[in-house]
Structure 1
Amino acid sequence: MAAAEPLHNIAHLGGVELFTPLPDRSLWYFHDLLGMEVAHTAGPSVYLRGYGDHAASTLKLTAAAKPGVGCVSWRAMSPAALERRARAIEATGLGVGWTNGDFGRGRSYRFHDPDGHLMEIYYEEQKFAAPPELRSTLKNQPQKYTGRGVGVRRTDHLALLAGDVGRNRQFAQELLGFQLREQVIFEGGKNEIGSWMSPTAVHHQLAYVVDVKGGHGRLHHFSLWVDNREDVLRAADILAENGIFIEAGPSKHNNSQGFYLYSYEPGGNRVEIYSGSYLVFAPDWEPVTWNEQERGTGTYWGAALPDSFIQYATPDIEGKETTVAPKLPVFF
């Protein structure tokens, strides 16, 4: 039987909105310490970008009572692809409807994933036009490297918690056309703990991981890319010198092979500084599956990830952990 034709309607992750109860401090973290640029402000929100992001903005910080994730934005391959995905999602009953778009984006279709995370698909996007003081001498780079703080280049991915990882993974594959890269499945294939997916050659732009507290619509982490391991090490120095809590790393994951550093921005959201990993170009890629014994501590080398890596997410909630939690190794 011939394989189904791949669904290529989503181009890439376009942007992420983060809620923060400390907007001024969160802005300091992303602008001063991580080196992102402010592109726009509107009401309770500030729009930022990395120096290598080609779009006008890829991160939206919005003042809110609690930290967490707002709207996750995906760019469509074309206007027709946007219409196709909107119709398909609308048929599932998870659609919210059309908006006129946010800063830097045109008409967008909003919906929820099965766990309740708000998402949108759009096509029209404003390209970043650097003012003279930010113009690079490289014509193929949207902005010069300023050298401020960590100097993150671009948005890379995010990880969301879900009560039913399999259902959300299936939604992302069948409705959005994402390709499955790796999975963590326990108990002889019965318990899907985490899945890593992407619409591009990047290893993963979206991960779903089980919410051990039984919550819905929560964020595990938001990840920003730097060019090499030395940049991750430099980020550790900068964050430590400025009193930012470093939860884990620098170390190397076994899953994705990424080199990482996890910290909490002042509003409470977990942010990863990330490099390395690998690209997937093969159209017949066979997803890699890890079991309990193979996963170990979730690191290839370096210190084991702490218990907080499983227990903490935003917004934080009081919750009774599921029966799998006490025997659940760290899964990133």
Structure 2
Amino acid sequence: MPVPQHVFDPPFNIVRSSHVVLDVVDLNKSVEFYDNIIGLHVEDRDDTTAYLRGSEEHQHHSVVLRKAEQSAAARLGFKVGSEADLDKAGSWFAEHGVLYSFVDRPFQGRTLHVTDPFGFRLEFYATMDKRPHLLRRYERYKGCHPQRLDHFNVFAAETQDTIDFYARLGFRLTEYAEEDGDGGRIAAAWMHRKGNVHDFAITNGKGPRLHHFAYWVPGPLNIIHLCDVMASRGLALERGPGRHGISNAFFLYVRDPDGHRIELYCSDYQTMDHDHEPLRWSLRDPRRQTLWGAPAPRSWFEQGSPFPGQEVREPVFVADVVIAD
């Protein structure tokens, strides 16, 4: 299937992935997990909502936890370049028949809410309240010392159409997994705005669902330390540690108390050159998922967080994937 061309003059300027809004059933339990086990920092909270961030982040939050009756991925948040870009985004979505609304959100002000044509619920903002970064406040480090939110990965039922849509918004392809032979279909794509491997990864599967969101950590030893922390608490690891061929990432996947999946991640590479060529992976090559490490469990392929009010659809095709033994 076609590899999308880079778009260097998108209709509005998306700077990067910024934050995720999660619905959680037990707010206290979730805050305990993200604060004391993962190691994010609580900036503000009340009885219904908590805001947390990584130690490198100046922005007020990169995870919002909202108390709800059912767990869900409420919104994926992206930062745009300016207030004018918010208006350009609204105009573009209106022109293309996508419903949107402007709302006011705590600590980030005017925010554009939109559900894309594939059911992913997004929000865009230009300016968020700032906080002093905590990078040198080592006495406050806990867990795996997460530095910053890095990317989202989603299950998409219409993989090619979803890839093409986000390419039009300026997301540039860095790596992709494709069937071999004439007419081979793309089963997954890694796309970026900020100049590393990805801000947004699109994976073939039952969707729309959030597969995971990821935090960058300083190095592999931080991930190993989190394994020890979770084991000492009697908590299970879903997958890893290991290394992906895709993105070269050293990784660990864990689940929060509501089942939302978090990746702790380091060791990818820069992709900001305008002539950066996307790397193709064959679906028959097991190294793309697991360069080394234990094979992924069934849950990693099948489970994800739904978006509120969005029907989960079967994928357009079922990819013939070789999985590492």
The TM-score with structure 2 as length reference comes to 0.88
User: Structure 1 residues 321 and 55, CA, compared in 2 at 3 Å: closer, same or farther?
Assistant: closer
Q: Percent identity?
A: 25
Matched, 1:261 2:225: no
Matched, 1:97 2:101: yes
Q: Is the 8 A contact 2:145 2:218 kept in 1?
A: no
Q: For residues 247-269 of structure 1, what are the alpha-carbon distances to aligned partners after superposition, in whole Å with 9 as ceiling and x for unaligned?
A: 11110000000000111111111
Q: Is the 8 A contact 2:240 2:293 kept in 1?
A: yes
Runs ≥4 residues deviating over 4 A: 141-145, 316-323
State the aligned residue count: 315
Matched, 1:123 2:126: yes
Residue of 217, 231, 247 corresponding to 1:240: 231
- Please state whether the residue corresponding to 1:93 is helix, strand or coil: coil
Q: Is the 8 A contact 1:49 1:154 kept in 2?
A: yes
Query: 1:194: which partner in 2?
Result: 188
**Residue correspondence of structure 1 range 218-237 to structure 2 within 5 A:** 218-237=209-228
**Offset of 1:4 from its aligned partner?**
5.8
Matched, 1:205 2:199: yes
User: Structure 1 residues 221 and 110, CA, compared in 2 at 3 Å: closer, same or farther?
Assistant: same
Counterparts of 2:143 and 2:304, CA distance in 1? 26
- Amino acid of the residue matched to residue 202 of structure 1? N
User: Structure 1 residues 318 and 199, CA, compared in 2 at 3 Å: closer, same or farther?
Assistant: closer
Counterparts of 1:116 and 1:303, CA distance in 2? 33
Q: Is the 8 A contact 2:143 2:225 kept in 1?
A: no
**Offset of 1:158 from its aligned partner?**
1.3
Counterparts of 2:270 and 2:121, CA distance in 1? 27
User: Structure 1 residues 128 and 318, CA, compared in 2 at 3 Å: closer, same or farther?
Assistant: closer
Query: 2:3: which partner in 1?
Result: none
Query: 1:180: which partner in 2?
Result: 173
User: Structure 1 residues 144 and 78, CA, compared in 2 at 3 Å: closer, same or farther?
Assistant: farther
**Offset of 1:143 from its aligned partner?**
5.3
- Amino acid of the residue matched to residue 303 of structure 1? A
- Amino acid of the residue matched to residue 149 of structure 2? T
Gaps of 5+ in 2: 1-5
Counterparts of 1:210 and 1:5, CA distance in 2? 26
Query: 1:48: which partner in 2?
Result: 52
- Amino acid of the residue matched to residue 242 of structure 1? R
Counterparts of 1:159 and 1:4, CA distance in 2? 21
Q: Is the 8 A contact 1:197 1:205 kept in 2?
A: yes
**Offset of 1:319 from its aligned partner?**
8.7
Query: 1:74: which partner in 2?
Result: 78
Counterparts of 2:289 and 2:7, CA distance in 1? 33
